[in-house]
Amino acid sequence: MSMKTSTPAESSRNESMAPSAAARLRKVHWYQEPRWRRLGALLALAVTFTLMTGEEGTTRDLFLALREDFTGPGLWLWVGIAVLVWVVREFLSDQASGAAKWTKRTASGPFAAVREAWGSNASLRVGVLLAGLALAVFGPLGLERYWQQVLVDQIAIFVLLTIGLNVVIGWAGLLDLGFIAFFAIGAYSAAYWTGALPVQPPVVLNNFLVIPIAVATCLVAGVLLGAPVLRLRGDYLAIVTLGFHEIVYLMAKNAESVTEGVRGVKVERFSIDLGFFSYEWKLDPMPYYWVLIGFTVLALFLFLRLEHSKVGRAWTAIREDEVAAAATGVNTVRYKLMAFAIGASTSGVAGVAYASKVGYFNPENFAILLSILVLAYVVFGGMGSIPGVIFGAAFLVWLPEALREWVDPKDRYMYLGALLVVMMIYRPQGVLPSRRRKRELEMAEAGIGGADATGPAEGRQQ
């Protein structure tokens, strides 16, 4: 058996070829460079937005939408925006960053003066709050009838729901995916106590008198839900609350002898009869709006006082570290039960108001999608921040309605989902976060451990 040996010339040639082969393997083609990959991603995003906002297809011509989208001006508009963003990012980033820093430095002076005046002048705070309240009360009078309906049937109702869910998620840190179940309980309480259900109550009550009963019913429902399951945490607790919603929803749908099932329930509207004075709410949405404003202001007053009480501090401790809170003597089960019960109380008010305003509802008005939407409103606005959750509910309810003239109803929530994705990437604390929650996220990003949100951050000026 013979072995082939290479000559000195062949060995030197192989040695000279080895570095060149390795260099070819290490070579990065132009389309693999990060700059051009980012351009490709932006162009793909432009094509996606073109398809989202372009012509809708028909069953008669399957390729109609593609022809119209890729031959019309919409494609070039989105491509132009994508290229502009890429140029600014790749070639003008220093200038853009400098302009942003200059704008921030310029605006810091006036903002600091406003913050100082706000913190030191109590009269200014009261005046601004009264002006905001007056605007909230009388401003909608100048809106169109359609937007007044949206303001009452959706925005005001969802604001009450997000204020309650903020207690559970934002303050106590409990993930609740079945919050709309309490909303349904409030609505069916209104139907029962006003005599609208097949099962008659012991005494028929006025809608206003039903409100405290509905609140108490939701409180009891919150305790009944929380008592057996609050030893669970995280995903397990979320699954149980989701199951609670499905139980309530299916009972309302299938117990036709009690709830009328899918046929729905017709509820009388608000009315007042004092003998010397009587008034009945009719189709005009503004009287309902003022009733909801009154209940919202009352809930805000009570919840703001609650946030800074012993109970609110216990919720904060549980949210930050439940084990540490229990080790320091906090009765975690008790305070989590209180969070579920108190958070559900606003759903009772919202349920009665909704049933009295629309006059008719069925189980489909309380689908699981609404629970997900309310959760999204709280996260978008800023968990733990009452101004944040109010803004989140108002803006995200308004957005699909504002798009109704340009976007097909089936596609509206696609834009809402895209907005939430972008929000969670670039501002996970929410639009108007609470200072405590914002600080927790900043400390987590900085890798600072062993500190809570109420103590000073290490190495940071206070």
Residue 106: burial class (beta carbons within 10 Å; 0-12, 13-18, 19+): exposed
Handedness of CA 296, 302, 306, 309 (dihedral sign): positive
Residue with tokens 């501002």: 427
The four Cα atoms 428, 431, 436, 442 give a dihedral, to 10 degrees, of 40
> Tokens representing 266?
């017709």
Q: What are the phi and psi torsion angles at 194 (to 5°)?
A: -95, 5
Task: Quote the pLDDT of residue 351.
Answer: 93
Indicate the residue type of 14: N
User: What span, in angstroms and rounded, lies between the C-alpha atoms of 297 and 9?
Assistant: 92
Three-state secondary structure of 267-308? CCCCEEECCCCEEECCCCHHHHHHHHHHHHHHHHHHHHHHHC
> Tokens representing 457?
């951050």
H-type helices in 308-459, by residue range?
Answer: 310-320, 322-327, 332-358, 368-381, 386-402, 412-426, 435-446
Task: Quote the pLDDT of residue 447.
Answer: 66
Inter-residue contact 46 to 78 (CB < 8 Å): yes
User: What span, in angstroms and rounded, lies between the C-alpha atoms of 405 and 412?
Assistant: 11
Residue with tokens 């109704």: 404
User: What span, in angstroms and rounded, lies between the C-alpha atoms of 268 and 208?
Assistant: 11
Task: Quote the pLDDT of residue 61.
Answer: 74
Distance of CA 6 to the CA centre of its chain: 73
Q: What are the phi and psi torsion angles at 55 (to 5°)?
A: -70, 145
Task: Quote the pLDDT of residue 408.
Answer: 75
Indicate the residue type of 238: A
Inter-residue contact 332 to 174 (CB < 8 Å): no
Inter-residue contact 428 to 381 (CB < 8 Å): no
> What residues does 361 pair with on adjacent strands?
265
Ordered mean pLDDT values, 10 residues apiece, the chain (462 residues): 54 55 62 81 86 76 79 87 88 82 80 77 84 88 89 92 92 89 93 91 91 92 82 81 91 90 89 83 89 92 89 89 88 88 91 92 91 92 91 91 80 81 83 76 63 40 38
Task: Quote the pLDDT of residue 188.
Answer: 93
Going by the DSSP 8-state scheme, the letter that residue 343 receives in this structure is: H
Calculate the alpha carbon distances from 239 to 230, 233, 236, 309 in Å. 12, 10, 5, 30
Residue with tokens 């900043």: 442
Going by the DSSP 8-state scheme, the letter that residue 158 receives in this structure is: H
Task: Quote the pLDDT of residue 460.
Answer: 40
Task: Quote the pLDDT of residue 100.
Answer: 79
Instruction: Please tell me the total number of residues recorded for the chain in this structure.
Output: 462
User: What span, in angstroms and rounded, lies between the C-alpha atoms of 159 and 390?
Assistant: 6
User: What span, in angstroms and rounded, lies between the C-alpha atoms of 259 and 121?
Assistant: 54
Helix (H) or strand (E) holding 265, with range, is strand 265-266
Q: Kindly report the pTM of this predicted structure.
A: 0.80
* CA angle 33–37–43, rounded 5-degree value: 150
> Tokens representing 281?
């709410």
Residue whose C-alpha is closest to residue 174's, from 244, 222, 238:
238
Distance of CA 300 to the CA centre of its chain: 18
